Structure 1
Amino acid sequence: MSLTLPLTVATIWGTHYGDTCLQPSAPDPKENEGNMIPSLVTLDSSIPFLREGYSFISSRCDKLGTDAFRTRIAGRQVICMRGAEAAALLYTSGQFTRQGALPPNTLRLLQDKGSVQMLDDGHHRHRKAMFMDLMSEDSVSRLKDIFEGAWLDRAQEWQEPVILHDEVRLILTRAACQWAGVPVSDRGAETLARELSRMIDKAASLGPGNWWAQLRRNRTEKWATELVERIRSGTVKTPAGCPASQIAGHRDVDGDLLTAKVAAVELINLLRPTVAVGRFIVFAALALAEYPRWRSKIVSSGPDELEAFAQEVRRFYPFFPAVGGVAREEAVWRDNRLPAGTWVLFDLYGTNRDGRVWADPHAFTPDRFRNQEITPHALVPQGAGDAGSTHRCPGERITLELVKAAALLLSTTDCHVPVQDLGISLRRIPALPGSGFVLMPRAPLRAG
């Protein structure tokens, strides 16, 4: 995209995204290693958490000189943690479950009961293997090709300014349905895009917005359940081996077919995260506008630069702030015993900006991914550990390939970025530029 960017509002809490920011010096967390996990001097941290969003955990860790602290959220005792060591504890020790780790309103919209995220041990590994099979190299490549075609088809209609986030959610919904073998009309795709988007947008909210999203989720689950039943009965024909047919035919570890309701939940858990990649794509567009040298670099330099750019988009920009876990048995954190039932919140956003791992962590620097080895517990926008055996998202490769495809398309599309609110508030969960990123085509766009 020949993207041009005038002076815009692009600050987060007074700090410009992309500049080498002057951050307040923080105590070294290692000074507290082996000590008791400190507690915040407050009755409850719910309001500060909602007020500060993504920065809540790390800002307090910095002040306390620690990687973990105790507090209460919604009246419930919790230990907030950050860093690669915490990631290993939560994801690879086998001592934590996702059951009871999310507020019910969030769980209902993002995963729901019976989903792979709610399983443990052999049941989890068996279900996760199905998802990993759906994410094979050939399957991901096919989705990328479908996405590129859907983008070019939609882009031909861009005669007036468009909000990229709105456009890309529809493009991703159409592409995901075609790839998964889900039959949907043009109007049906628009409705489904709105419903899947509400699940994402309202997952961290309280009150009427969340309630309305849950009502729409009920409708989506009813539609998906009926689709699973029709696939099983043969009244809907799907391409052989497509994701929808594999989910509909999946049997649990005991050899029993999933209930139609659970299979529907897992089908939604395939479609919804694919649509959520739209946020990363918007952040990629913002990065191309703010760091224009990367437009020509990723087009002319080859796949390594493009991969590094996509990885830095995932590291640098805020996706989801934290993930929860509940201790299944007694665990140990730096000589501190965590009894069974301990609730932990792991700081995804802060871990991605840990200065002990990432040089100049508040700067957008894709080249870092060409110059250092990245461990599975350091880069954690979609979870930590091994995707095949832990609760790390199995769709990371999909995310990377779609962001890479979108970055190339944006870099070769002649569009202008008008003056708008590109500020990213860390209070908003999940985060997004205030305007949704408005694009203005310079000339009619043509496929190919």
Structure 2
Amino acid sequence: MGPLRDGTIGVLAHGYAWLPDKMRSTDGTTYRTRLLGRPVIALHGPEAVRFFYDERNVVRREALPGPVLDTLFGRGAVHTLDGEAHRARKALFLALLKDERGVGDLGAEVQRRWREAAESRHGERVVVFDEAADVLALAVCEWAGVPFAGPEVERLAHDCTAMVDGFATPGPRHVRARHARARQEKSMADLIASLREAPRRPSGEGATALEAVARHRDVDGTLLDPHTAAVELLNIVRPTIAIAWFATFAAHALHRWPHHRDLLRADARGVHARAFAHEVRRFYPFAPFVGGLAARDLTWRGERIPEHTMVLLDLYGQNHDPALWNNPYRFDPHRFTGAARRPENLVPQGGGDPDQGHRCPGEDITVTVLATLATELARLDYSVPDQDLTIPLSRVPTLPRSGFELDLA
């Protein structure tokens, strides 16, 4: 076999379509290339999910490139840890983001803020993406105990969406993302420092996310330094605000398949709303793939993977794999209302066990908030003006080009 060609330009040019296209050119389960000059093997399928999220096989430490840390996740984030260090830090997020009461409280706060915003904007044209980001910023600040208001919340919404928008591309978007992260890390570090200097609340009172991060002790028993604490607080706030991408896709789906508006309006128990949220996450593009490093010399289906090789897990391709999903390019929430789904099949935000591995602990938050926003959109009285609703797969992350405009009645 000759030297591998570098696929970096292909990733930048083709975005979400790059890896699925390459997979189809091979056996459909592996693809070898180079990215930024580094050897890479890409894997696909539920078995690959289990292989990838086994820490004996693939680790995250030193796997995330500097530009991604300096925009999306932050230096020292939980995403960069493995083993006991990862589990100790992950426990902080699991306690906050998988607590049923906490998830419900955030969903209720999002609903309240959305209704307030909709009531105040009667007769106006709004952009769903921008409105959703502002509502989510207001809600998560209230829920997390972050004492921002007015322009501070608007800046937070703008900065957090900039971090997500610019992590995967060179140029002005990336520069904006770096500046946004630096600005919000400083703000959050100042909050952490101020809270640590203040008297502690009486025992028995529920801790906010801000307090939990400020008081968290790592595996070595020490408090997080202010910068790392700020990074982890942002890793609660930023992904919540990033649900604006899914909210915009939900509006797009309701426009293309309007019968779901009636189904959501009649959905007293929320069954269709959660299925709708799952299908939005499966059908629409969010993360194209995730990566890690081979922890040792490995073999995957007869393929040798030397230690320290970059390993990619195909996400977008798996969520549209006809071997896993009947008619994968048909939007059909009913596929999630029947038998229990296998967690390694649906991987919009990665896979594996959220309690032990690197799977996003905020998926319950995402599904609850997205189901709430989809239902609120279905109940809203609006019209959709002419606009460009195409979703370019070459752009990561992508959106309808217009951000989805609505004329509120």
8 Å CA contact retained: 2:59, 2:292: yes
8 Å CA contact retained: 2:392, 2:399: yes
CA distance in 2, matches of 1:42, 1:386: 33
CA distance in 1, matches of 2:370, 2:220: 38
Aligned to 1:171: 135
- Measure how far apart 1:177 and its partner are: 0.5
Give the letter for the 1:157 counterpart. Answer: S
Aligned to 1:103: 65
- Superposition pairs for residues 148-297 of structure 1, below 5 Å? 148-158=111-121, 159-234=123-198, 240-297=206-263
- Superposition pairs for residues 295-306 of structure 1, below 5 Å? 295-301=261-267, 302-306=269-273
TM-score by length of 1: 0.87
Structure 1 stretches of 5 or more lacking a match? 1-38, 443-448
Give the letter for the 2:407 counterpart. Answer: M
- Measure how far apart 1:40 and its partner are: 9.2
8 Å CA contact retained: 2:55, 2:83: no
Aligned to 1:20: none
8 Å CA contact retained: 1:61, 1:68: yes
SS of residue matched to 1:371: coil
Of 121-130 and 106-115, deviating more is 106-115
CA distance in 1, matches of 2:133, 2:207: 25
1:372–1:264 distance in 2 versus 1, CA, 3 Å: same
Aligned residues: 404
Give the letter for the 1:195 counterpart. Answer: D
CA distance in 1, matches of 2:163, 2:404: 21
Aligned to 1:414: 381
8 Å CA contact retained: 1:58, 1:82: no
8 Å CA contact retained: 1:46, 1:73: yes
- Superposition pairs for residues 114-129 of structure 1, below 5 Å? 114-129=76-91
SS of residue matched to 2:33: strand
- Measure how far apart 1:217 and its partner are: 1.3
8 Å CA contact retained: 2:316, 2:348: yes
The reply on whether 1:137 has 2:100 as its aligned counterpart is: yes
- Measure how far apart 1:53 and its partner are: 0.6
1:359–1:372 distance in 2 versus 1, CA, 3 Å: farther
Give the letter for the 1:224 counterpart. Answer: M
- Superposition pairs for residues 288-437 of structure 1, below 5 Å? 288-301=254-267, 302-437=269-404
Question: Residue 78 of structure 1: which of 40, 43, 62 is its match?
Answer: 40
In the TM superposition, what whole-angstrom CA distance separates every residue of 1:30-71 from its partner, at most 9, and x where no partner exists?
xxxxxxxxx798621111111111011111111223311111
- Measure how far apart 1:356 and its partner are: 1.1
CA distance in 1, matches of 2:201, 2:160: 24
1:285–1:171 distance in 2 versus 1, CA, 3 Å: same
SS of residue matched to 1:367: helix
Q: Identity rate of aligned residues, in percent? A: 40
The reply on whether 1:439 has 2:402 as its aligned counterpart is: no
1:236–1:129 distance in 2 versus 1, CA, 3 Å: closer
SS of residue matched to 1:138: helix
SS of residue matched to 2:402: coil
Question: How large is the Cα RMSD of the aligned pairs?
Answer: 1.7
CA distance in 1, matches of 2:27, 2:206: 55
Higher relative contact order (CA 8 A, sep 6+): 1
CA distance in 2, matches of 1:380, 1:262: 28
